Structure formats: C-alpha cells, structure tokens
Amino acid sequence: MDRLRVALLVETSRGYGRGILHGVWQYIQEHETWSILYRPCGFGQVAPSWISSWDGDGIIAFIDTAKTARLLKQSGVPTVDLLGELIPKPQVPFVAPDNQQVAELAVQYFLDRGYQSFAACGFRTGLRPMLDQRCLKFQQQIQETGVECALFTPRGGGKEGPSWEREQEQIARWLQGLPKPLALFTCNDTRGREVLNACQTHNISVPEEVAVLGVGNDDILCQLSDERLSSIDVDPQRVGYQAAAVLDSLMHQKPVSDLTLIPPRRVVSRHSTDSLAVTDPELATAIQYIRRYACRQIQVEDVVKQVNLERRVLERRFRKLLGRSPKAEIIRLQLVRARELLAETTLSNTEIAYRCGFNSAAYFMDLFRRKVGQTPGEFRQTSQSSEQIV
C-alpha cells in the first residue's frame, strides 16, 4: 500500500509551530507512516500556488490569509486548520488551544497572587482573531469577578497599524496610566516580549509594578533576556497530535468533529511574574513562607509563628485577599507540586505523597481525586500523553 501524502504548511520560527510538528511526528510513529511534504508558511504568507492542484491526500495548515483559504479549497484535499480564522468550521475541521481555559488559567494565576488590578494586551483588532478572542475572554473572566480589566488597542498608522517604535510608546503610556501593582495578560509570547521591552525602555518595573504573563511558553522568546517571561504552556504537541488524528480520519472518510480544543497544560512561572500583589506585610510574609515550605508538612500554627498576628486574624486576612484559608493555600500548593511530579516523572504515588508533604499515599490519592476530579493515575496518563513527544 502506498504511503499517504500529507502537506504541512506550518509556521515554525516559534516554539508553537515546532511543537505542532513534534505532535504530528508522534502520531505518525504510533500509526501508519505518511510521506510528508513540509513547507514553512509564516503568518500572513500565502500558500504556494501549486497547492491548489496538488494530488496529495491531506493537508495540515495555518490558514490566515483569504488567498490561502481559496487555494486549499480549490485543491479539494482533506484539510485541517490550525487557526480557524478564515474558513467556516463546518468546511474545514479546526484544532487549536482552548482560549476559554487559557483565560481561566491566567485569571486564577493572578488572583492566587493577590492582584486586584488587571489588563490585557493584544495586537491590532482583526489582525489575528484568535488572539483577539484570547484577550477578550481574559477580560470577560476578570469582569465576572466584579473587577474592571483594561484592554490595549493600538492607535493610528492606517491599515498597517502604528510603527514598532510608536506602538512601544503607546504601550508604555497606557501602562503608566493604569493602577499598580498590575497583572498584565498578553495574547502570546511575542506580545509579552514587546511589553517587557516597553517597560524596560520607559522605566516601568517588572514584576514589582507590572507582572507580565504570555501565552505559548516559547523557550527562546521567554528567556531571551534577564527579564524572563512567564507563560502559559498551551501544549502544542498535543495540538499537532490531535490535528494529525483528525486528518487521518478525514483521509479514511471517517466522521470528525468540526472543532477540537486542547486545554492548556500549566503556567510556567519566570521572573516577569515573580512578585506578590500584597501590601499587607504580615500577609506577604505568611504567603511567602507557605510557598517556600508548603511541601514540608507545615501546619497553620507554623505559619502563625512567622507573623505578629493571631490565627483568627490571619485567617480573616487570607480569606479577604485570596478567598481561602491558610490551610487551603498549603493544600493548593501541595497539589500544584503533585501535578508537576505526575506529569514530569514516573515516581510512585507513595513517593509523590512524601515529596509533597502528605502524611500518607492513601490520603494524598483521596484528596487529589476530590480536588482535581481525577485519580493521580488518570491525571498522569492524560498529562503525559503528549510528553512522550519531546
């Protein structure tokens, strides 16, 4: 039987696109081998004209221009879209990160750090609709908590938007006019880096005045300077794997879902958010102590000893700022670490329970199931399904 011929029209100058290729590769390793035609296709670039008459079997593509959409439609070849910005979903299946869950993860991340002032920064409206959606969902999530969220919109410059230097000035002036400390969500890591540059150029302190969170977790972009960018890992390997699975079904004339959304994996914290928006010195001390020692079997009494407060006063201040008790914060951080160990290691439940400060594996497993909604084994299987790719 001849190999199926599949074209990959994917932008790979960023970690996201490279992760997608890893995911496609993993799918091929586990299933029948495809003959791959790879053509780098950057954002805004048109697919090669020959694709409209290409006699292949399947295409996985970043479709972000109307001409590319027309060429792929003319080809009649089964296609999976990775952007979902131009072709109606019933015509071409769409696989991408779940922006709703990305926004929810970002909001909770900032709320856990005590922030009360929020903003989101994207690109010119309409340039990348999926990124517009990401910022709007963050704004909506914040507003549902009863707090306002500022949204940056570039001004001037006509159809092309303002120049890079002009936009940097606009970002800086916008940030200078917002209340501090500020939690700032950026639509992707490229925008996050641009915000960090604007802050550095205009003497805005990161993360003390503005904590910046990107999306994509591109290793190179996030660690390009001393001000390393915190970012949400949107699991591009799994996006690629699922895109390949959908295309495989299409090529074998099996029914597929029009829309496949992949949940984000986690927030990867770096320098740009390494701060707490806590003005209460006793509370800040307590939170820092818990974050440092949560997995060392500490009790609330140990936290009380670090501050000049009675336990009931500390409890009240915790609930006012974070919406939970000191004990709940200890458990939350223990489970955060447990999830990391389950996703990234092969340690047993007993060893993980010990490393996270739980008294027994049985208690850890029961608590994990109640809080996370999965057993540790189920969580590991889900989270490591794409870890094998890299």
C-alpha radius of gyration, the chain, whole number: 23
Contact 161, 127 (CB under 8 A): yes
Q: Residue 73: what pLDDT?
A: 83
Looking up residue 381, the CATH number of its domain turns out to be 1.10.10.60
Read off the pLDDT band of 97 (50, 70, 90). Answer: very high
What CATH number does the domain containing 48 carry? 3.40.50.2300
When pLDDT is cut at 50, 70 and 90, the band that residue 390 belongs to is very low
Q: Residue 261's pLDDT is what?
A: 94
- The yes-or-no verdict on residue 296 having pLDDT over 50 is yes
The answer on pLDDT for 386 being more than 80 is no
- Looking at the fold, whether 53 and 161 belong to one and the same domain comes out as no
| For residue 159, pLDDT beyond 70 | no
Domain span at 336 = 281-385
Whether 93 and 260 have beta carbons less than 8 Å apart is answered as yes
Pair (302, 380) in one structural domain = yes
Q: Based on the domain organization, do 131 and 34 belong to the same domain? A: no
Coil, strand or helix at 59: strand
Q: How does pLDDT run across 104-121, given as a tens digit for each residue? A: 999 999 998 889 999 999
Quick one: 128 and 230 in the same domain?
yes
What pLDDT, on a 0 to 100 scale, did the predictor assign at position 71?
Answer: 85
Residue 346 in any domain: the answer is yes
> Tell me: the pLDDT tens digits for 29-52?
999 889 998 887 766 667 777 887
CA-CA distance, 199 to 187, in Å (whole number)? 17
| pLDDT confidence tier of residue 53, bands split at 50, 70 and 90 | confident
Q: 28 and 80 share a domain?
A: yes
Average pLDDT over residues 230-243: 95
Sheet containing strand 149-152, edge to edge, reads 149-152, 118-121, 182-186, 210-215, 230-233, 266-268
